Amino acid sequence: MDHDFATENLTDKFDSYNLARIREDFPILSQMVHGKDLVYFDNASSAQKPRQVIDRITEAYTTGYSNVHRGLHFMSEKATDDYESARETVRAFLGAASSTEIIFTRNATEAINLVASSWGRTNLQAGDEILITYMEHHSNIVPWQMLRDEKGLVLKALKPEKDGTFDLDSFKTLLTDRTKLVSVCHVSNVLGTVVPVFEVTKLAHDVGALVLLDGSQAAPHISIDVKNISCDFYCFTGHKLYGPSGIGVLYGKESVLETMPPYQGGGNMISSVSIEMSKWADLPAKFESGTPAIVQAIGLAAAIDYINDIGLNSIAKYERELLNYATQMLDLVEGLTIIGRPSGKAPIIAFVLNCVHPHDVATIIDRQGVAVRAGNHCAQPLMNFYKVGSTTRASFAMYNTFKEIDFFVDALNLVRRMFA
Ligand SMILES: *Cc1c(COP(=O)(O)O)cnc(C)c1O
């Protein structure tokens, strides 16, 4: 099967995008899987890491490691400087006003739980409403259900339009003067829908609700400016942004974070402790109890530097072409239905193939070296909405190629013939 012509035509459009160099930066991409070249299309689940991140992690452990914020010795000062400079890198990446608004967490899940526990427990009362959507990841559903059950809250969920578009009209009708929090994804991890976060934030603020945006799938693809959006909280997770696992970020407006009690108690989050009482540390330490994920934060900053070097706009432009090409090619596969075609979507394609279980699809194409996700993608309510138990999901990153898409489509056609 020869798709070289189409492939070359498309890659020609990206003279300025140095795909070959980018691919060389990711050592794992030259691995063979089951004797085939690895085609990694499971990026929405976790992205691969460039050498720059791997090397920075090694460097930190090799030349600048100690615990932070404590020691009066050289290594501790260096580790503290690097950790705090990582916070500054994240601040700039999100467009936050101050690095005191950047809290390092374990991942996005912990960031959302932090808001539910700290802000939710102290500010919400029986009858108050939280508004989420059917396209949330379980991480942005379950913490609110737990809080609802504890406090007697009302949890409402907005359905998307059939094609996966965010339904702004229905959103307006679900907002009431009892809505205290709107917690929605910036980008859906299944549909790729980009939520109109400016309008959502404005409408929520108009009824006096705060806004939390889950940017786990947005951060790798869209430039973010929390000051401009004016959201109260924004979170993302490091491992989907080409960084290490074990590190995530919660941004919170200083005026909101100041009013919130600590999430967990322990070292680092206090200014003084006696047996009778403790005083909390200032932001952001108040929310970072215990020894943080020091090197993971430094690695995350290296990932952000790497993305900034290439430019999120160039990445987004290239990924959009990948998405368009993949959509065209998948539409030619007999019996294949793409779930969700909102306009301007992120490079994520969930689909079902007639009469073939997604687990079979994923397992069979894995033998061809193609890695995709099959399952409910931690979004069971959305699967129910579309009346599918599960889907197969291909999600693209800056290092994927048109040729890989051809290979993927060939592998799917192989599956189709096996089940014909
Ligand atoms: C992956 C993901 C999460 C959870 O990320 P963790 O790293 O598992 O905490 C939350 N929301 C969305 C939209 C995601 O894609």
Measured in degrees and rounded to the nearest 5, phi and psi for residue 285 equal -60, -30
**Residue 346, domain CATH:** 3.90.1150.10
Residues 277 and 405 in one domain: no
Per residue in 284-304, pLDDT tens? 999 999 999 999 999 999 999
Distance CA 152, CA 121 (A): 11
> What pLDDT is attached to residue 5?
36
> What pLDDT is attached to residue 4?
40
Find out whether the beta carbon of 383 lies less than 6 Å from any atom of ligand 1: no
**Residue 217, domain CATH:** 3.40.640.10
Residues 353 and 393 in one domain: yes
Residues 226 and 349 in one domain: no
Q: Which pair of structure tokens corresponds to residue 53?
A: 């991140």
For a pocket test of ligand 1, which of 137, 166, 221 has the largest count of ligand atoms closer than 8 A to its C-beta?
A: 137
Locate the ligand 1 atom nearest the alpha carbon of residue 139 and give its number.
Answer: 10
Find out whether the beta carbon of 137 lies less than 6 Å from any atom of ligand 1: yes
Domain C-terminal end among 308, 343, 361: 308
Percent of the chain past pLDDT 90, that is, above it, reads 95
- What is the set of active-site residues? 378
Average pLDDT of every residue of the chain: 95
DSSP, res 2 = -
Centroid of ligand 1 to alpha carbon of 274 (angstroms): 38
Query: Among 36-50, 59-73, 337-351, where is mean pLDDT lowest?
Result: 59-73
Distance CA 182, CA 166 (A): 14
Per residue in 398-414, pLDDT tens? 999 999 999 999 999 99
Q: What mean pLDDT do residues 138-148 have?
A: 98
Query: Among 11-25, 32-46, 221-235, 245-259, where is mean pLDDT lowest?
Result: 11-25
Residues 126 and 59 in one domain: yes
Q: What mean pLDDT do residues 126-133 have?
A: 98
Q: Which pair of structure tokens corresponds to residue 350?
A: 């969930």
Domain C-terminal end among 308, 335, 359: 308
Find out whether the beta carbon of 393 lies less than 6 Å from any atom of ligand 1: no
Find out whether the beta carbon of 100 lies less than 6 Å from any atom of ligand 1: no
Per residue in 171-191, pLDDT tens? 999 999 999 999 999 999 999
> What pLDDT is attached to residue 70?
81
Residues 412 and 273 in one domain: no
- Work out how many domains the chain is built from and give that number: 2
**Does pLDDT of 1 surpass 50?**
no
Per residue in 44-99, pLDDT tens? 999 999 999 999 999 999 999 999 998 899 999 999 999 999 999 999 999 999 99
Domain C-terminal end among 257, 285, 308: 308
> What pLDDT is attached to residue 15?
56
**Does pLDDT of 316 surpass 80?**
yes
Residue span of the structural domain in which 372 resides? 7-46+311-418
What CA–CA distances, in Å, run from 186 to 137, 189, 224, 260?
11, 10, 10, 24
Centroid of ligand 1 to alpha carbon of 90 (angstroms): 18
Locate the ligand 1 atom nearest the alpha carbon of residue 237 and give its number.
Answer: 7
Strands of 186-265 (E only): list them. Answer: 210-214, 233-237, 248-252
> What pLDDT is attached to residue 71?
80
**Does pLDDT of 229 surpass 50?**
yes
Find out whether the beta carbon of 214 lies less than 6 Å from any atom of ligand 1: yes
Centroid of ligand 1 to alpha carbon of 188 (angstroms): 10
Residue 178, classed as helix, strand or coil, is coil
Percent of residues in the chain assigned helix, strand, coil, to nearest 5: 45, 15, 35
Residues 11 and 89 in one domain: no
Find out whether the beta carbon of 139 lies less than 6 Å from any atom of ligand 1: yes
Percent of the chain past pLDDT 70, that is, above it, reads 96
Structure confidence at residue 13 as a pLDDT band (50, 70, 90): low
Task: Assess if residue 1 is contained within a domain.
Answer: no
Residues 102 and 164 in one domain: yes
- Quickly count: other Cβ atoms within 10 Å of residue 329's Cβ: 19
